[in-house]
């Protein structure tokens, strides 16, 4: 049992906080708008009044926030996690941010006696709810070992992939693969429907062969029904692909397919689709095929 503060109670953070409490940890959650959450409180998650309240006295603090500036502000601000923590704090950032910022946090933490891991996740809202997330971790082995009981309450595939920043590098690769898979599935659905094939049956048989993927299994049906209620917003995937292209440029690696999909995500966002689920790339594929006249920004 550990005393854990979790900061960021959005689509992913809320179920993660519940799972930590269900695993027997003492969990205090902080929502940055300062609001309370009766559902979380009924699940045993205490409400913090501030970042400092969530961090002070905690054995571990988890952040899961939208972007690098958010994490820097929460971790390194004058009333932030690092300033409020007791010596020896285990700080686990599970956001998706740039590898360089993850390394900065590790360096700052080491100077203050704080043990830092970058541990971004994959699996979406369902993975967070089911505690079946894939967690890619960067940081020292001994810190990873210490964090293992906490991470096991959140995911089923938990791998230390290297030193500080490595987790974020692997997450960038994850976001490349997911985006390309969604775009390929979107194009396949448009092709199938234009050809008059029963798309539901088609996806069933495709899912059993080499074309099968987690994207197809988990998101195929919602794409067929054009339900783009956000589990992971276009705005966030746009941000993540920006991290990817910047990191790839830094190591001299071209990403021809990834760059093309990044442009499609940016296009959908520019047309007002930023708050839609990333599977709304299907709308752009339909538009390009002349099967719709404009992209709808309705979520379902």
pLDDT in tens, 184-230: 999 999 999 999 999 999 999 999 999 999 999 999 999 999 999 99
E strands present in 78-132: 90-93, 115-118, 121-122
Q: What is the mean pLDDT of residues 293-299?
A: 82
Which part of the chain is CATH 3.40.50.720?
3-163
Q: How far apart are the first and last CA of the chain?
A: 41
The reported pLDDT for the residue numbered 33 is 85
Nearest to residue 7, comparing CAs of 57, 64, 58? 64
Fold of 169-288: 1.10.1040
* Class of the CATH domain delimited by 3-163: alpha beta
The reported pLDDT for the residue numbered 36 is 82
Q: What is the pLDDT of residues 79-125, one digit of tens each?
A: 999 999 999 999 999 999 999 999 999 999 999 999 999 999 999 99
Is the model's pLDDT at 300 over the cut of 80? Answer: no
The reported pLDDT for the residue numbered 181 is 98
Residue 126 is among the residues annotated as catalytic for this protein: no
Query: What is the per-residue burial (b if ≥16 Cβ within 10 Å, else e) of 15-49?
Result: bbbbbbbebebbbbbbbeeeeeeeebeebebbbbe
Is the model's pLDDT at 164 over the cut of 90? Answer: yes
Which part of the chain is CATH 1.10.1040.10?
169-288
Q: What is the mean pLDDT of residues 265-276?
A: 96
- Residue of 18, 86, 126, 171 marked catalytic: 171
């Amino acid at each position: 049992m550990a005393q854990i503060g979790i900061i960021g109670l959005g689509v992913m953070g809320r179920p993660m906080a519940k799972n930590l409490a269900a695993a027997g940890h003492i969990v205090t959650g902080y929502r940055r708008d300062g609001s309370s959450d009766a559902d979380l409180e009924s699940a045993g998650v205490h409400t913090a009044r501030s970042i400092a309240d969530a961090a002070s006295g905690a054995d571990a603090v988890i952040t899961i926030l939208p972007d690098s500036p958010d994490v820097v502000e929460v971790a390194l601000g004058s009333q932030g996690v690092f300033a409020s923590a007791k010596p020896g704090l285990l700080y686990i950032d599970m956001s998706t941010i740039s590898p360089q910022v993850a390394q900065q946090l590790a360096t700052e933490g080491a100077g203050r006696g704080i043990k830092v891991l970058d541990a971004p996740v994959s699996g979406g809202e369902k993975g967070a709810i089911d505690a079946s997330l894939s967690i890619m971790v960067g940081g020292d082995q001994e810190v990873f070992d210490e964090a293992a009981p906490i991470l096991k309450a959140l995911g089923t595939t938990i791998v230390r992939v290297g030193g500080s920043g490595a987790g974020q590098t692997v997450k960038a690769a994850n976001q490349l693969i997911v985006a390309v898979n969604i775009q390929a599935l979107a194009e396949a659905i448009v092709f199938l429907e234009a050809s008059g094939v029963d798309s539901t049956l088609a996806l069933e048989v495709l899912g059993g062969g080499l074309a099968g993927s987690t994207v197809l299994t988990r998101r195929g049906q919602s794409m067929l029904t054009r339900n783009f209620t956000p589990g992971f917003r276009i705005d966030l995937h746009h941000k993540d692909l920006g991290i990817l292209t910047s990191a790839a440029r830094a190591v001299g690696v071209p990403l021809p397919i990834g760059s093309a999909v990044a442009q499609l995500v940016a296009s959908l966002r520019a047309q007002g689709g930023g708050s839609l689920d990333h599977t709304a790339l299907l709308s752009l594929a339909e538009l390009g095929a002349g099967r719709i006249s404009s992209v709808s920004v309705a979520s379902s």
